[in-house]
Amino acid sequence: MLDYVIKRLIQVVVVVLLALTVVFFLIRLSGDPTALFLPPDAPREQIEEFREKLGFNRPLHIQYGEFMVNAVQGDFGQSLRSREDALPIVLDRLPATFQLAISSLLLSLLIAIPLGVLSAFKRNSVFDRISVAFTVLGQAVPSFWLGLLLIYFFAAQLHILPSGGAGSVVHLILPMITLAAYSVARFTRFTRSTMLDVLRKDYIRTAKASGVPTFRLVGRYALKNSLIPIITLVALDLGTLLGGAVITEVVFAWPGIGRLLMQSLMNRDFPIVLAGVFIIALIYAVINFVADLLYAYVNPQIRVK
Amino acid sequence: MTVNFPKVPHAANTQPLKSKKQSAVAAFFSNLMRSWTGMLGFLIIVLLLFISIFGQWIVPYDPLLADFGKKLLPPMTDGHLLGTDQLGRDIFSRIILGARISVIIGVTTVLIAGTFGTIVGIISGYFRGWIDVILMRIVDVQLSFPFILLVLVINAIIGTGLRNIIISLAIGGWVIFARVIRSEVLALREKEFIIASVATGVSRIGILFKHILPNLFTPIIILSSLQIGTYIIAEASVSFLGFGVQPPEPAWGNMLNEGKDYIFSSWWLITFPGIAIMFTALGVNLFGDWLRDTLDPELKGE
Amino acid sequence: MLEKILQVNDLRIQFKSGKETVQPIRGVNFHVNRGETLGIVGESGCGKSVTSLSVMGLLPVKSSKIVSGEILFNNRDISRLNEKEFRKLRGNEISMIFQEPMTSLNPVFTIGEQLSEPLRQHKKMSKSETRKTIITVLKQVGLPRAEQIIDEYPHQLSGGMRQRVMISLALLCQPKLMIADEPTTALDVTIQAQILELLKDIKTKNDMSLMLITHDLSVVAEMCDRVVVMYAGEVVEEAEVNELFDRPLHPYTQGLMKSLPSNNERKSTLFSIQGQVPKPSEIKEGCVFANRCPFAFEKCLAETPPAFKKGEHISKCWLQEPALEEVKHSGEPSIVIS
């Protein structure tokens, strides 16, 4: 077990370093950003001076080596705009993103698992059909559009919720629903199909033959069996959730990492982009790592070894 | 449970081998008729293809023509079915032409990402060894970064426009193909008929072309049909964020981006392009699901 | 007269799939006496598993239906009980052992958690009592280290051990009737014998009846008091075990016996019954075995044979019609094929 944990931790590090490498080279190969900060008719000396100062004139591999050494120490340079250290700017935005992502995840699990279980249990009933139709539609609605629709109805028409910004629970409601919608559809559908699968298993028949009542059969036995694949899917989907968070943050002007990353990409403020990529890759890798541990915990075939 | 239900005869099996091609097409449609969701998906796709090919002849107005005298007209006024946008351009016409952009991006990306990913998957799965280890490590690393973010970052760095968004999507998308095709190839390698061919002395390349490639057709078709939807939504998202396809090109994503500034006054700007995206995604998803369930019953469900 | 613990009378079960319906069980009659072992023999698909599931009330609710007939358990018709009433019987008065010990135990719960379920449902017991009972039963089925196994997961046990766990699960509430559906088919040959021995043993010790479903005639010979032979959803022959092996009356039973590889002689080819079992949807008028029967004559194709009784020996074959018997006796001995 310890071997496994160590192996996975090394993987986390490798993933993060490689993500940084790729983005670093992409940025450097697409040209240096000095042109953006100086007027187009700036004298050559001024450009050179600027490049000198930011280190863009040295050989690529030296820049890369220096960048990586600094990056591991948390130094991604200064924002090209605000002249502040990049990493703290990104970390400042972290709580807002977490708040949005975690509340959405909880909301979607809270809705999706009972809905999927009930749907599987009442297969082919009216309830099941409506829930399936809802999941199919839910997976086709792009989150940013749903966000716009919610703003239109709740902010522009009904005036009961703010259209954007942060600061209170009220501000969280619309972004949270927007981000959760896709996951609700996907998790419900998956829970339903997994549950149907499990309910067909021999060991469920055994439990039935022991006289276990239906409610207990579904709620205790089948659900625990279904949790293993569900956890796997949720972990895989956290990436989509993080990606969706970026878009949702932009739609609702939510001050998280996603919005910061977007603005920095627009401004070609690369130290911040790199720090943002670093943090996102790190979060994602760590989440996957935790999901693996959780998976092992639920599945005794892995745990007891 | 050992209860045997009577099996519905498979359409393809019951037909005599008169014309193989003809009966395959017939089987396809008779299968499709049995699933109304598959049929709906198919019809949406046919409609989408139709308007993306013939769109330029059926649009009532020039989608790029601004007319400030007629800006922000609500739907059904002055001959504008879905109204006009902030520059007085006809929204209906823009949505029709936007279909073409979506289709081009979806199809081209699948072709590029699919070809590249399939080649990598075959090399990895068939030849194994160190090259497999390296390729799969790359795939793992890339898969551990959110797809949409990757596309966004790449697109922002290499630049916007139709060509670059296709490149960005393809860079983000090939790994899925590589991963799936590799596992298919690995499974095929263990099949009896392949082992039998090896035993009878058929060369490795011979087996690859004769036995492996034809058997990859089904998974590639299934995966491609499901991925197209993902690419179309991803493009719309990236364009919505201001990268991807740039105005004045009428991509659905950037129409929503422009329209969101008028959300408090003109609801139609953000409504219709979104409906178009939703229906496209719905059609592709329904058809893809049906295709998967029909061609590969073992994958049924998820 | 022996006390009958289970009586199945003219049972008909219908399955629905889409718009099509089939009847995999068509007019099945048999009974289980108290304290005896009844064997139900037949090829796969003959309806023996469906029959046993109907006794347990485990048929799929939506797609299947008991069309007619009754299932009397302790002289009470249980064929139309609702789910809640059936639950009081399951695992309590009637219990069942399934074919696949590898998949019949839940992989994410310990043996103890799974075994406590019937006790929890049917008996009022404290936690420590439950645990004590489980350990006693685990020991009774011959599992070593019962105190540890109770806290282990199924994947830590071998196939034979898992089947012993399954047996102890079925045994916990001391049922009056235990149904064993191919309990040894999935196991190694050496373990098969041990499990059969165990079943025999616990049957006597716990004073219960055993309904043993199998396709294996040697298991029948070893274990059973009486035998019911099923073919294509019908009982074609029923007899006391020695009687059946000595004087099989139905051509299908005769065929089954002949296809047994014998220990005494080495034949160059094994006998097999020609043709295929008809699918439930293909069954027409007449005897179900007629299309494969070497003795079939016109009447067999036209009319369904009733059950002819010769004392306790019952068979559904026109050859056993008393009128025909006379003809047969005047001619040569008939049912010896070679």
**pLDDT (tens digit per residue) in B18-62:** 455 677 788 888 888 888 889 999 999 999 999 999 988 888 888
C39: nearest Cα among C194, C199, C176: C199
Q: Over the stretch C283-314, which tens digit does the pLDDT of each residue have?
A: 777 888 888 888 888 888 888 888 888 888 99
Q: Is A293 inside a domain boundary? A: yes
Cβ distance A144 to B240 under 8 Å?
yes
Question: Are A209 and C166 an interchain contact pair (Cβ–Cβ within 8 Å)?
Answer: no
Residues 200-229 of A with CB under 8 A from C: 201-214, 221, 224-225, 228
Predicted local confidence at residue A130, as pLDDT? 93
CB C159 within 8 A of CB C101: yes
Assigned token pair, A176? 């949270």
Q: Which residues of A touch C163 (CB under 8 A)?
A: none
Whether chain A has a CB inside 8 Å of the CB on C58: the answer is: yes
Collect all residues from B whose CB is shorter than 8 A from any CB in A. 1, 37, 140-141, 144-149, 152-154, 156-159, 229, 233, 236-237, 240-243, 256, 259-260, 263-264, 267, 270-271, 274, 277-279, 281-282, 285-286, 301-302
Question: What is the pLDDT, as a whole number, of residue C327?
Answer: 55
What residues in A contact C169, CB-CB < 8 Å? 206, 210
Residue A86's closest CA among A256, A257, A255, A271? A271
Pairwise CB contact (< 8 Å): C109 & A210: no
Closest CA to A23 of A276, A289, A247: A276
Provide the domain limits for residue C300.
248-324
CA distance B8 to chain C (A): 10
Within A75-158, residue ranges assigned H as helices are: 86-121, 126-140, 143-150
C101 to chain A, any CB pair closer than 8 A? The answer is no
Domain containing residue B173 = 36-53+91-295
Average pLDDT along chain B? 84
Distance from CA of B209 to the nearest CA of A (A): 34
Instruction: Convert the pLDDT of each residue in B128-175 to its tens digit.
Output: 889 998 898 888 878 877 888 889 988 988 888 999 999 999 999 999
Burial environment of residue A215 by CB neighbours within 10 A (0 to 12, 13 to 18, 19 or more): exposed
In whole angstroms, give the CA distance from residue A271 to residue A80: 7
Chain A positions in Cβ-Cβ contact with residue C109 (cut-off 8 Å): 221, 224
Subunit contact B6:C44, Cβ cutoff 8 A = no
Say yes or no: C130 contacts chain A, CB-CB below 8 A: no
Question: Which residue on chain A is closest to C88 by alpha carbon?
Answer: A211
- Looking at residue C168, the DSSP 8-state letter turns out to be H
Residue C240 pLDDT: 93
Per-residue model confidence as pLDDT tens digits over C12-60:
998 887 778 888 888 899 999 999 999 999 888 788 889 998 999 888 8
- Asked if residue A44 is part of any domain, the answer here is no
Q: Walk along chain A (305 residues) in steps of 10 and give the mean pLDDT of each run.
A: 80 82 79 64 76 75 87 84 88 92 93 93 89 90 92 90 84 94 92 90 90 86 87 80 87 92 87 88 83 78 63
What CATH number does residue B98 fall under?
Answer: 1.10.3720.10
Residue A158 in any domain: the answer is: yes
Q: How far apart are alpha carbons C181 and C160 in whole angstroms?
A: 15
Q: How far is CA C254 from the centre of its chain?
A: 19
The reply to whether B210 falls in a domain is: yes
Cβ B71 vs Cβ B88: under 8 Å: yes
- Within 8 A of B6 by CB-CB distance, chain C residues are 17, 20, 22, 279-281
Report d(CA B16, CA A171) in Å as an integer: 65
pLDDT of amino acid A231: 83
* Closest CA–CA distance from residue A30 to any residue of chain C (Å): 52
Residue of A nearest to B231 (CA): A142
pLDDT grade, residue C323 (50/70/90)? low
| Subunit contact C280:B1, Cβ cutoff 8 A | no
Q: Which of A201, A202, A206, A299 to mutate to test the interface with C (most CBs of C within 10 A)?
A: A206
> Does residue B273 lie within any of the structural domains?
yes
The domain tally of chain B equals 1
pLDDT more than 70, % of chain C: 92
Q: Mutation test of the interface with chain C: which of A197, A201, A205, A210, choosing the one with the most C Cβ atoms within 10 A? A: A210
| Dist. CA A22–CA A28, nearest whole Å | 10
Cα–Cα distance for residue pair C114/C110, rounded to 1 Å:
6
C281 contacts B3? CB cut-off 8 A? no
Domain boundary at C144, C172, C200, which?
Answer: C172
- Could you tell me which of B116, B128, B145, B156 has the C-alpha nearest to residue B237? B156
Mean of the per-residue pLDDT values for chain C? 85
Q: Which residues of A touch C166 (CB under 8 A)?
A: 206
Give the separation between CA A158 and CA A155, rounded to whole angstroms: 6
Structure tokens at A170: 């009220």
Q: Do the chains contact at C280 and B2, CB–CB below 8 Å?
A: no
Sequence letter at residue C131: R
Tell me if B95 is assigned to some domain.
Answer: yes
Decide if pLDDT at C148 tops 50.
yes
- Measure the CA–CA gap between C13 and C25, rounded to whole angstroms: 5
Question: Half-sphere exposure (CA, 13 Å, Cβ side) for A84?
Answer: 7
- Residue C6 within a domain: no
Q: Is there a contact between C107 and A203 if contact means CB atoms under 8 Å apart?
A: yes
C148: in domain: yes
How many domains is chain A partitioned into structurally?
A: 1
Provide the pLDDT for residue A173.
Answer: 93
pLDDT at A62: 86
Does residue C227 lie in a domain region?
Answer: no
Tell me what pLDDT residue A105 has: 93
Which residue of B153, B233, B278 is in closest CB contact with A23? B153
- For residue C275, the tally of other CB atoms under 10 A from its CB is 10
The Cα B274–Cα B256 span in angstroms is 7
What's the pLDDT at B179?
92
Query: Is B113 within 8 Å of B174 (Cβ atoms)?
Result: yes
Q: What is the pTM of this model?
A: 0.81
What subunits touch chain C, counting only 3 or more CB pairs under 8 A?
A, B
**Considering the domain boundaries, does residue B289 fall inside one?**
yes
Could you say which DSSP state residue C289 is in? T
Segment B55-101, tens digit of pLDDT: 888 888 888 888 888 888 888 887 888 888 888 888 999 999 999 99
Task: Identify all chain B residues contacting C45, using CB atoms and an 8 Å cutoff.
Answer: 2, 4
Longest dimension (CA), chain B: 78
Would residue C126 count as lying in a domain? yes
Let me know: does A230 contact A187? Beta carbons within 8 Å. Answer: yes
Is A218 inside any structural domain?
A: yes
Split into its structural domains, chain C has a count of: 2
Residue B11: what pLDDT?
A: 36
Which tokens belong to C297? 């004559």
Subunits next to A (3 or more Cβ pairs <8 Å) are: B, C
Instruction: Kindly give, in sequence order, each residue whose CB lies less than 8 Å from that of residue C83, ignoring residues fewer than 6 positions away.
Output: A214, C57, C61
Closest Cβ–Cβ partner in C88, C98, C156 for A206: C98
Report pLDDT for A228.
83
CATH number of residue A209's parent domain: 1.10.3720.10
Across the interface, which of B154, B158, B264 has its CB nearest the CB of A156?
B264
Q: Which residue of B has its CA nearest to C182?
A: B2
Q: Give the pLDDT of residue C324.
A: 64
Looking at residue A34, what is its pLDDT?
Answer: 67
Strand C177-181 relative to strand C308-310: parallel, antiparallel, unpaired?
Answer: unpaired
Higher pLDDT, A51 or B111: B111
Neighbours of C89 (CB within 10 A): 23
Residue A181 and residue A138 in contact, taking contact as beta carbons nearer than 8 Å: yes
